[in-house]
Amino acid sequence: MKHPDLNLLIALDALLQEHSVSRAAARVGLSTPAMSHALARLRDQLGDPLLVRAGQRMVPTPRAADLQARVHALATEALGVLAPAPVTEIAKLDRMFRILSTDQLMTVIGPALDRKLRAAPNVSLHVMPPQRDDSVQLRDGTIDLSIGVYDYAPYSDLPTDLRIQQLFDDHYVCVVREDHPTVGSSLTLAQYAELDHVQVAVRGPPGGYVDDLLAKHGLKRRIARALPYFLAALQLISETDYVMTLSVTLVKRLAGKLPIKSVQPPRSLGLESYQVSQLWHPRNDRDPAHRWLRDSIAEAARQTIRR
């Protein structure tokens, strides 16, 4: 099926608005002959002269006069569809963003992010726990953005169709209750392995990175309690003799708010630092509102870590 040339719709609109080939040409950025050719094609296609000479002027035929309002509405709509997305006024933005993040990261950057988001009073934020594989929901559009640690499996081979931006570097520290009966300011590897552990297992069953490192030393720890939330885990730590290994930025953020103390993990364990990043689907790359959200998160992270 041969489709009509929709450029002719724009040309016809200009001709019916201007009642002049030369002015219509100037209006759409064509030469006069080019517009004249377009008028000839329109005449041929519609079987009507559309504009006819009346002295030095061109006047519309009844058919053209009848089409004028419809053509103008269609041309305006078409140009609107093809125009670049309007610049978003953040203060007037009315939208809900859905992001995946742990309570740990929201505790660290949440207050600073909230201050940023207040620039858009009608923006709301729905934070949900991370999934086994965040990329699924990023791809299908059910979430807008994911914040987390993506430099380990299953994300070490991050799909190339997703965008990632590093937010800040973090490393591990151990915490026990302030008046723990056996733990001082540091831990030996043997002591670390002997203690009962609390682990926050957000994405799946307990175990993982720390256990893999212990296994290299022929050691194994007992995970006495596995919880989905960091704050609940820390509350538990403050009232028991368990030990927990977690983000130093979270521990700093909560300093003085819980009766816990941070303890150097055993150096020989080989815990490495890691990067916290935000992840999104490229369909949102050029969405001004989404870009504003990403910039707000990045700036909130910078402000929080600078402290």
Binding site for DNA (CB under 7 A): 5, 7, 20-23, 30-34, 36-41, 51, 53, 55-56, 58
Q: How far is the CB of 268 from DNA (least distance, A)?
A: 54
Q: How far is the CB of 151 from DNA (least distance, A)?
A: 35
Record the tokens describing residue 197, joined without a space.
């552990």
Nearer to DNA, 20 or 249 (CB): 20
Record the tokens describing residue 213, joined without a space.
């490192």
Nearer to DNA, 20 or 278 (CB): 20
Q: How far is the CB of 68 from DNA (least distance, A)?
A: 16
> Side chain identity at 91, as an amino acid letter?
A
Nearer to DNA, 38 or 138 (CB): 38
Burial class (CB within 10 angstroms; exposed 0-12, middle 13-18, buried 19+) of 218 = exposed
Phi-psi domain of 259 (left: phi exceeds 0; alpha: psi -120 through 50; beta: other): beta
Q: Are 144 and 98 in contact (CB under 8 A)?
A: yes
Q: How far is the CB of 48 from DNA (least distance, A)?
A: 13
Q: How far is the CB of 18 from DNA (least distance, A)?
A: 8
Q: How far is the CB of 203 from DNA (least distance, A)?
A: 40
Nearer to DNA, 31 or 182 (CB): 31
Nearer to DNA, 51 or 67 (CB): 51
Nearer to DNA, 28 or 125 (CB): 28
Q: How far is the CB of 74 from DNA (least distance, A)?
A: 18
Nearer to DNA, 60 or 265 (CB): 60
Q: Give the position of tokens 């002997």.
A: 194
Q: How far is the CB of 51 from DNA (least distance, A)?
A: 7
Nearer to DNA, 57 or 222 (CB): 57
